[in-house]
Amino acid sequence: MKKEKEMTSVRWYMQFVRPYWWEIALTILIGIVKFAIPLFIPLLIQIVIDDIIGSDVLTAAEKTNQLFLYLGVTAAVFFVLRPPVEYYRQYFAQNVSNKILFDIRQHLFGHLQKLSLKYYSNTRAGEVISRVINDVEQTKQFIMIGLMNVWLDLATIVIAVAIMLSMDVPLTIVTLLAFPFYAYSVKHFFGKLRGLTRERSQALADVQSYLHERVAGVSVVKSFALEEHEKQNFDEVNGNFLTKALNHSRWNAKAFAVVNTITDVAPLLVIAYAGYQVINGSLSVGMMAAFIAYIERLYSPLRRLVSSSTTLTQAFASMDRVFELVNAPYDIENAKDAKVPSQFHGDVSFRNVQFEYEKGKPVLQDVSFDVKKGETVAFVGMSGGGKSTIVNLIPRFYDVTGGAITIDGRDIKEWMIEPMRQQIGVVMQDNILFSDSVKTNILMGNPEATDEEVIRAAKAANAHDFIMDLPQGYDTKVGERGVKLSGGQKQRVAIARVFLKNPPILILDEATSALDLESEALIQQSLDVLSKERTTFIVAHRLSTITHADTIYVIDHGKVVEEGTHEQLMQKKGTYYNLFQVQHL
């Protein structure tokens, strides 16, 4: 099962590599040229020692001339070939790896856009960010090392062994005696390293998640004077990462100690055997010197392979984590025969709707009602009764677990999701503004709108005057989540973008419940204008804001327990009457 998963994550990753195969192949070829050139230096050493210095025929002057001739030609080759080869190897390697990471992050962002609110309710934002940033960056090593450097090192070893075999077979065999021990050590140590790397990556993601949440909620920490308490909590999270990192480092250090000892001992065998052969006259001094030089050319790539194994293990662990994110299922998807809606008329119906966030824990039970075009309906009741859940089901933020919701007589599951949501405007209690300009945030309602349309929408939302008082007017940056604006100002910007969207169906989810009376009056005025001739759903705690609704539904424990106009419900003197009396005492 583990093997199957490993192959699947690698196979998924390779789909982003394939478009750049020719650049990778070219990089490998250039790299082979780079590493092959120095492999001829040991041969040069043998020629210099045996054929030039050790020659009985050449005079001193001739030996000097030949020495500098060979060295001059070699130096010329190095100066002419080495700089462009090294430049283009590095350029292509970095270029292709960065383009692949760009494609992967682009794919992941598209994937994140398709995940439902349920996924984000159960997953910390810092965890998602860590996988898209840290883990994707770590997978770069799979390209740089796994698809390039490992092949270069293997090619270097093969070329070096081939040259050594052509020079002296027995001595080459002695040189390779340490290989089996090297291979066993790598397999033994790096088998466990992948699990340790995953644990370290998860611990780092925990640190990032904790930081993300505490930075976002720094006002809460300061208001309760929890700085020291939070520091202690961070020490625990950070300490857990330190423990995992040290476990990883400890095992990694053992691997390097054993493997490097093997690669360091191997040359001693060659020196001993070659020295014995020279003493007995079976081997020339030049040949011995050449083989000793080849040992370094042979075992340096092996040492790099050990380092590569460590890095690749981390890359594979990161690829697994990225692949887990990619495998997160889409809870909300288009049906195969889904239709693109034309302009909605605005009739909405709930038919025996059932819903549960967790299996076996119903939130809505047998909810049914009809809303005609242009009508305004309101949902009231105690917190946790299911009011917000009802309106969140209309744009398919979640899917019903029973019954059906229809718009213009067709089940919303039969409509294409994005075109359907484009015709539904939502104003929430805590609207999210992005850390960009006021204008950009309003344009979320319609990115193609003109400046005149933006200003018109802002005026309709009673936002134009305060926007013009800002330092840069519509170009003023609002800060993360709109922190530079007051609650009422943020709400009016959110309403402006719904005006710009101009949807036939409108959802107001406690849009004024957290505002002061002055802001509430301004925003209520904007909402009254916004809801005209639109099918409007209102979730409200302040019952005074929904007395004008065509129908009011009282929701209790996921059921509709009362319905009617304000006057009708007051005459019944039931749940709604009691709620209204409590708020007006």
Identity (one letter) of the amino acid at 184?
A: Y
Q: What is the DSSP string of 62-76?
A: HHHHHHHHHHHHHHH
Bridge-based pairing of strands 361-371 and 348-358 is antiparallel
Burial class (CB in 10 A: 0-12, 13-18, 19+), 299: buried
Q: What is the pLDDT of residues 274-331, one digit of tens each?
A: 888 888 888 888 888 888 888 877 777 777 777 777 777 777 778 888 888 888 888 8
Of the candidates 574, 42, 120, the one whose C-alpha atom is nearest the C-alpha of residue 330 is 120
Which of 44-58, 359-373, 422-436 has the largest mean confidence?
359-373
CA dihedral 134, 135, 139, 145 (to 10 degrees): 60
Residue 517 is predicted with a pLDDT of: 57
Residue 6 is predicted with a pLDDT of: 45
Return the axis-axis angle of helices 60-114 and 21-36, rounded to nearest 10°. Answer: 160
Q: Name the DSSP class of 560.
A: E
Cβ 513 vs Cβ 429: under 8 Å: yes
Q: List for the chain the helix, strand, coil content (%; round to 5).
A: 65, 10, 20
Cβ 74 vs Cβ 44: under 8 Å: yes
The token pair at 107 is 């794919």
pLDDT at residue 578 greater than cutoff 80: yes
**524 or 60, which is more confident?**
60
State mean pLDDT over 201-229: 76
Cβ 259 vs Cβ 237: under 8 Å: no
Q: What is the pLDDT of residues 434-474, one digit of tens each?
A: 878 889 888 988 888 889 988 988 888 888 888 898 888 88
Between CA 512 and CA 492 the distance in angstroms is: 10
Of the candidates 377, 373, 369, the one whose C-alpha atom is nearest the C-alpha of residue 353 is 369
Bridge-based pairing of strands 424-428 and 376-380 is unpaired
Residue 372 is predicted with a pLDDT of: 92
Between CA 153 and CA 297 the distance in angstroms is: 10
Full-model pTM: 0.72
Cβ 302 vs Cβ 157: under 8 Å: yes
Between CA 68 and CA 76 the distance in angstroms is: 12
Q: What is the pLDDT of residues 39-73, one digit of tens each?
A: 777 777 878 887 778 777 777 887 788 878 877 87
Between CA 159 and CA 335 the distance in angstroms is: 57
Is residue 294 helix, strand or coil? helix
Element (DSSP H or E) covering residue 13:
helix 2-17
Identity (one letter) of the amino acid at 461?
A: A
Place of tokens 């699947």: 8
Q: Report CA-CA distances (Å) from 442 to 6, 207, 434.
A: 45, 34, 10
State mean pLDDT over 539-543: 82
Q: What is the 3-state secondary structure (H, E, C) of 136-192?
A: HHHCHHHHHHHHHHHHHHHHHHHHHHHHHHHHCHHHHHHHCCCHHHHHHHHHHHHHH
Q: Report CA-CA distances (Å) from 503 to 230, 491, 535.
A: 44, 18, 9
State mean pLDDT over 18-22: 86
- Per-residue confidence band for 511, with pLDDT thresholds at 50, 70 and 90: low
Residue 407 is predicted with a pLDDT of: 92
